């Protein structure tokens, strides 16, 4: 599997171009994020394993495909990750959900854990970490460190936008974790914001600007 997959489906690209625009309302931004996350979820779960079960159709008995193994785990990096959860949970309502909270230490500038509550038996689940913006990669690398320490092995990282700097940082720290995104943007600015980007994803989805 490639380390970076840009999901270039025309519906995703069209919706993303609307979302990026600064005049889009909080409600519009949220709706588009939910719709795109549903489409991204379809792609990030492509490698889920299947088994078969015997079912009875109105015509005959058949061996029908069904998902194998434990329910997958969705891990949201607080707070913006929560904006991606809704759409994914619409598609996979049985998924288990966890949350990771990190803040940046003002002196060391390193991410520090303040919250971590994740599903049990991560070692037996596909674990999808969600955060709309892969910028410096510091928080995603730290979140994945925490999840690996709790047993996660089969990990994916799902974001809306990625900066080349963040992709590189993830490739160095976690080459075994494939990244799925709707766009690989140009760069980071001096404040760590993605350019052209869409601004502060958390502020835009929660209306906190």
**Residues in 61-80 that interact with ligand URA by CB under 6 A:** 80
Residue partners of 169: CB distance under 8 A and separation at least 6: 136, 137, 138, 141
Closest distance to ligand URA from the beta carbon of 77 (Å): 11
The yes or no reply on residue 133 touching ligand URA (CB under 6 A) is: yes
Q: Does 167 bind ligand URA (CB under 6 A)?
A: no
Tokens matching residue 28: 């519009």
Q: How near is the Cβ of 20 to ligand URA at its closest, in Å?
A: 11
Q: What's the gap between Cα 179 and its chain centre?
A: 8
Q: Pseudo-torsion of CA 51, 55, 57, 62, nearest 10°?
A: 60
Task: Provide, rounded to whole angstroms, the least separation between the CB of residue 198 and ligand URA.
Answer: 7
If binding is defined by CB under 6 A, does position 201 make contact with ligand URA? yes
Using the contact rule CB under 6 A, the part of the chain among 42-50, 142-150, 167-175, 186-194 near ligand URA is: 186-194
Contacts of 72 (CB under 8 A, 6+ apart): 45, 48, 92, 95, 96, 125, 126, 127, 128
**What's the rounded Cα separation, in Å, for the pair 201 and 57?**
46
Which one of the spans 68-76, 103-111, 114-122, 193-201 is the region binding ligand URA (CB under 6 A)? 193-201
**Interface residue list for ligand URA (CB under 6 A):** 80, 133, 135, 192-194, 197, 200-202
């Amino acid at each position: 599997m490639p380390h970076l997959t840009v999901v270039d489906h025309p519906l995703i690209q069209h919706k993303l171009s609307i979302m990026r625009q600064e005049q889009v309302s909080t409600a519009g931004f949220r709706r588009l994020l939910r719709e795109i996350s549903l489409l991204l979820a379809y792609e990030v779960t492509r490698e889920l394993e299947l088994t078969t079960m015997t079912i009875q159709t109105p015509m005959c008995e058949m061996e029908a495909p069904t998902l194998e193994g434990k329910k997958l785990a969705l891990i949201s990096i607080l707070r913006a990750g929560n904006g991606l959860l809704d759409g994914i949970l619409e598609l996979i309502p049985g998924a288990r959900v966890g949350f990771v909270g990190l803040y940046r230490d003002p002196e060391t500038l390193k991410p520090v854990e303040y919250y971590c509550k994740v599903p049990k038996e991560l070692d037996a689940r596909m674990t999808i970490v969600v955060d709309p913006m892969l910028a410096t990669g510091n928080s995603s690398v730290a979140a994945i460190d925490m999840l690996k320490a709790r047993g996660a092995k089969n990990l994916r990282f799902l974001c809306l936008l990625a900066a080349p700097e963040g992709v590189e940082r993830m490739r160095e720290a976690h080459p075994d974790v494939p990244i799925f995104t709707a766009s690989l943007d140009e760069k980071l600015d001096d404040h760590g914001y993605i350019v052209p980007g869409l601004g502060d994803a958390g502020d835009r989805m929660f209306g906190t600007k």
